[in-house]
Amino acid sequence: MEYWDIYDAEKHPTGRKMKRNDWCLKDGEYHLTVLGVVARPDGTYLITKRVMTKAWAPGWWEVSGGAAQAGESSEEAVCREVREETGLDISNAEGGYVFTYKRENPGEGDNYFVDVYRFVLDIDENDLKLQREETDGYMFATKEEIENFAKEGIFLHYDSIKRVFEQLQ
């Protein structure tokens, strides 16, 4: 059974935990999720396509991410999620934390923080080992291609994370 830490509105741990996907959070309580944007030095980004069996947003494009497990730091969570979903080890990659945003869903029990990371890694297709239960393909997309997927309504979280796709520094 996977557990998540519960945080207060200031993103401080409360010392309490919840079962994964229990959606029992009260207003003012949050769990922590992470997104790991992986870019290549040429300015393209690794994006994956969600399997069609997903209950939410099947077939949509996304970047790697998921919930931080209880006791896991944000950075540990993003490294784990990227490794599980793509096979890539980003622990020594250039880059890191970029920003956090917060989602509140009053009365639904699912409020969360999202820590957004960007890493630059010189990778090619042979480096990838996709998690087949989660992903049904990938591409190294330009910022414009990602924007076009967002305009079509098939790229997860784009409005919340679009600034992470700004020119690499």
Count Cα atoms within 13 angstroms, Cβ side, for 112: 22
pLDDT tens digits for 117-167? Answer: 999 999 989 999 999 998 999 999 999 999 999 999 999 999 999 999 986
Q: Where does 3-158 sit in CATH, by number?
A: 3.90.79.10
Q: What's the confidence (pLDDT) of residue 169?
A: 47
The pLDDT of residue 8 is 97
- pLDDT digit string, tens, across residues 11-55: 999 999 999 988 889 999 999 999 999 999 999 999 999 999 998
Integer Cα distance of 60 and 22 in angstroms: 24
Taking the C-alpha atoms of residue 119 and residue 29, their distance in angstroms, rounded to an integer, is: 29
What is the structure's pLDDT at 116? 98
| Per-domain residue ranges of the chain | 3-158
Gap between the Cα atoms of 60 and 81, Å rounded: 18
Q: Given pLDDT bands bounded at 50, 70 and 90, which one contains residue 168?
A: low
H or E, element range at 25: none
Q: Could you tell me the pTM of the whole model?
A: 0.94
pLDDT at residue 21, as a whole number: 85
In this predicted structure, the answer to whether residue 113 has a pLDDT above a threshold of 70 is: yes
